[in-house]
Amino acid sequence: MSDLGALAYFLGIEFARIKAWILMHQRKYISDVLGRFEMLECNPASTPVESGHNLSTQSSDEQLIESTSYRQVIGSLRYICNTRPDLTFGVGLVSRFMEKPAHSHMQAVKRILRYLKGSLDFGVLLPTSSGQENHSIYGYSDADWSGDKDDRKSTSGYLFKLGEASISWCSRKQNSVALSSYEVEYVSACLGAQQALWLQALGTELGVQNDGELVLFVDNKSTINLAKNPISHGRSKHIETKYHFLRDQVEKGKLSMEFCRSEDQQADILTKALKRDLFQKQRKQLSVISLACMNYEGMLM
């Protein structure tokens, strides 16, 4: 075996080290993607998805486009999501139309590429073991009720952090139609609970011990009450049995659910399109910063 020194580049992912911080980014890979799809000279965008977007498959009068190139750019964008949680919702949204993409769907994809052009050197900031004292794992769970205009299904999102570093995130459309806002939050929290259980097992294997229960922050009190109270009533009796895995984890003491205000919900960026100011605020909460910020110690979190 040969010692090649500190990790700097691996499978298109780059690692920049300054003091007790590591920035995991894909600047070169993103540049290659922009060049491949002829977007290197495009005007940058401030957000990946336009607020109030109205993408749908029901526009019968809209011209369809060639699907091969559409799928190719989606595949490239999905790989970039490994270091860019701020892209996760937008890429998941345009991925829904790969079967029959239309002109408006390609325009949404190009907006994501324009956003990448303006945030080329952004990545996830990870403190080293000496860079932070807090090593506890905690998460956020959120959902956007009936966000899909075609089938009225909702989008779930979760974010898990180790101290201040984002280590796991997901944005996924739910399989069923929710009848209330607290039901969609309950289903989303169940998805987060499954990931929390896996992260606990992984942390134990790696020697990262979490103090007590793993905390999952939710911005809906009815969801928390349903997870703690096994009594069934009219609004919850139709929820599928598999989603009560969440209640089982709470009863066993493996997971604790706590309320957080909507403005403090860091998983919000994974479930819906946000306006520029709120998007940039939540992007910083995800520890997604640029290489330039790493040169200024005061700008590090």
Of the candidate ranges 10-14, 172-176, 203-207, the one whose mean pLDDT is the lowest? 203-207
State the Cα–Cα distance between residues 216 and 212, nearest whole angstrom. Answer: 13
276 alpha-carbon distance from chain centroid: 17
Candidates 288, 87, 271, 72; CA nearest to 191 is 271
**Dihedral angle sign, alpha carbons of residues 198, 201, 207, 212:** positive
Q: For 43-85, write each residue's pLDDT tens digit.
A: 999 999 988 777 877 666 778 888 899 999 999 999 999 999 9
pLDDT at residue 16, rounded to an integer = 87
List every span in the chain annotated with CATH 3.30.420.10. 134-270
pLDDT at residue 84, rounded to an integer = 92
42 alpha-carbon distance from chain centroid: 25
Q: For 101-141, write each residue's pLDDT tens digit.
A: 888 889 999 999 999 998 898 999 887 765 555 668 899 99
44 alpha-carbon distance from chain centroid: 22
Q: Do residues 271 and 219 lie in contact, with contact meaning Cβ atoms separated by under 8 Å? A: no
State the Cα–Cα distance between residues 284 and 266, nearest whole angstrom. Answer: 10
Q: Do residues 200 and 136 lie in contact, with contact meaning Cβ atoms separated by under 8 Å? A: no
CB atoms within 10 A of CB 63: 8
pLDDT at residue 298, rounded to an integer = 43
For residue 9, give every residue at least 6 positions away whose Cβ sits within 8 Å of its Cβ, in sequence order, or none: 15, 28
State the Cα–Cα distance between residues 100 and 66, nearest whole angstrom. Answer: 8
Helices (H) and strands (E) in the chain, counts: 8, 10
pLDDT at residue 99, rounded to an integer = 86
Q: What is the mean pLDDT of the chain?
A: 83
- Residue for token pair 């997901």: 170
CA dihedral 79, 171, 271, 53 (to 10 degrees): 50
Whether the pLDDT of residue 182 is over 80: the answer is no
State the Cα–Cα distance between residues 114 and 44, nearest whole angstrom. Answer: 5
Q: Do residues 124 and 143 lie in contact, with contact meaning Cβ atoms separated by under 8 Å? A: no
DSSP helix/strand/coil, 292 = helix
The hierarchical CATH code for the domain 134-270 is: 3.30.420.10
Whether the pLDDT of residue 289 is over 80: the answer is yes
- Please give the structure tokens belonging to residue 180: 């209330």
Q: Do residues 159 and 139 lie in contact, with contact meaning Cβ atoms separated by under 8 Å? A: yes
Secondary structure element (H or E) that encloses residue 203, with its range: helix 181-206
pTM of the model: 0.85
CB atoms within 10 A of CB 234: 6
The single-letter DSSP state of residue 242 is: G
Candidates 221, 167, 223; CA nearest to 195 is 167
State the Cα–Cα distance between residues 149 and 152, nearest whole angstrom. Answer: 6
Whether the pLDDT of residue 240 is over 70: the answer is no
Query: How do strand 255-259 and strand 214-218 relate by DSSP bridges?
Result: parallel
Rg (CA), the chain: 20
Q: Do residues 40 and 117 lie in contact, with contact meaning Cβ atoms separated by under 8 Å? A: yes
pLDDT at residue 129, rounded to an integer = 62
Of the candidate ranges 24-28, 110-114, 240-244, the one whose mean pLDDT is the lowest? 240-244
